[in-house]
Amino acid sequence: MLTLRDALTSNRFVITAEICPPKGTDTTAFIKNAQLLKNRIAAANVTDNQRAVMRLSSLACSVLLLKEGIDPVFQMTCRDRNRIALQSDILGAWTLGISNILALSGDHVSFGDHREAKPVFDLDSVQLVQTISKLNNARNMNDTSLNSGTDFLIGAVVAPEANPLEPEMIKFEKKVLAGARFFQTQAFYDMENFKRFYEYAKRFDVKILAGILLLKSAKMAHFLNKNVPGVTVPTNIIEELESAPDQLEKGIEIAARQIRELKTFCDGAHIMAIGQEENVPKIIESAN
């Protein structure tokens, strides 16, 4: 099996993609999407109740990917579990064969389909990274030694277009200090701006996978600008989509173009296709 760890140490351009677990127990479409991505990507991220909408667990879906021969990136948010449950699930993930975790704060429950839920946030993303590092050293977060530990490749996220940027960069550095070794970035469309971030980030011993969000239509671009924090689709991209006969095709072309350019300087790309996973192979092929 191709692994993310091997890919990141190979110094080749690394591509990961996101797959969203199903809303229920029928995993047919999830597995089908996963099979389409097999051997085309280094690893597949499994989202953890993304946007606070309850879905099949990220841990279970990560194991399903392993069975398909795909290296999963087990996404873990701090929203739904306290420190005991988080650590226990991290250990559990390791024993089930998972070796990459992406640590996130998580979207607030007020966005999701269970607005009445208690938002946990017992730890934050920096503390979660720190906790995984401890478990990697066979100790729990209170320094009690474990009979055997984990050896996760720890990832985290960063928003290169955050405004203001400095507090986001301070947090990025804390995540690095806590033990994050790769970063998957929030989606961006301004490549020059991203290059500046990349130059800064490369001062640290981390791999950066640039966030590529597939634009399905100009309508989606407007929606992102209005509703999704930290993502800005510039006017020229929106116009490009609007003037295209097939907006989805144009979106695929834009994503491929971004990846082609990233290949000239960046460690890799992380493709988020949100419901369009079947188009990820096309993006990757067009970027060759």
Partner 1 sequence: MIITRKKNFNKILEYLEGKTTVFLFGCNACAEQCETGGENEVKEMTNLLEKRGKKITGFSIPDETCYTMLIKKTFRENRDDITAADALLVMACGAGVKAVADIAGDEKPVFPALDTLYLANVARYGHFSEGCAMCGECLLGETGGICPHTDCPKGLLNGPCGGVVNGKCEVNIQNECAWIRIYTRLKKQGRLEVLKRITPPKDYSVQIKPRNTIIESRKKTQ
Residues that bind partner 1 (CB under 8 A): 78-79, 83, 105-108, 110-111, 119, 121-127, 130, 141, 157, 159, 162-164, 166-168, 170-171, 173-174, 177-178, 186, 229-230
- Provide the minimum distance between the beta carbon of 202 and partner 1 in the complex, in angstroms, as a whole number: 19
Q: Whole-angstrom distance between the N-terminal and C-terminal Cα of the chain? A: 22
The residues near 134 (Cβ < 8 Å, ≥ 6 apart) are 140, 141, 143
Select 99 or 130, whichever has its Cβ closest to partner 1: 130
- Provide the minimum distance between the beta carbon of 127 and partner 1 in the complex, in angstroms, as a whole number: 5
Select 178 or 259, whichever has its Cβ closest to partner 1: 178
Select 97 or 119, whichever has its Cβ closest to partner 1: 119
- Name the token pair of 196: 């500046």
Q: Is 115 exposed, middle or buried (0-12, 13-18, 19+ CB in 10 A)?
A: exposed
Map tokens 């296709």 to a residue.
Answer: 273
Beta bridge partners of 100: 73, 153
- Provide the minimum distance between the beta carbon of 122 and partner 1 in the complex, in angstroms, as a whole number: 7
- Provide the minimum distance between the beta carbon of 115 and partner 1 in the complex, in angstroms, as a whole number: 11
φ, ψ of residue 272 to 5 degrees: the values are: -115, 110
φ, ψ of residue 73 to 5 degrees: the values are: -105, 105
- Name the token pair of 204: 């640290």
- Provide the minimum distance between the beta carbon of 226 and partner 1 in the complex, in angstroms, as a whole number: 10
Select 83 or 263, whichever has its Cβ closest to partner 1: 83
Select 108 or 139, whichever has its Cβ closest to partner 1: 108
Find the helix or strand (DSSP H, E) in which 64 lies.
helix 58-67
Select 161 or 277, whichever has its Cβ closest to partner 1: 161
- Provide the minimum distance between the beta carbon of 105 and partner 1 in the complex, in angstroms, as a whole number: 5
Q: Cβ(265)–Cβ(11) under 8 Å? A: no
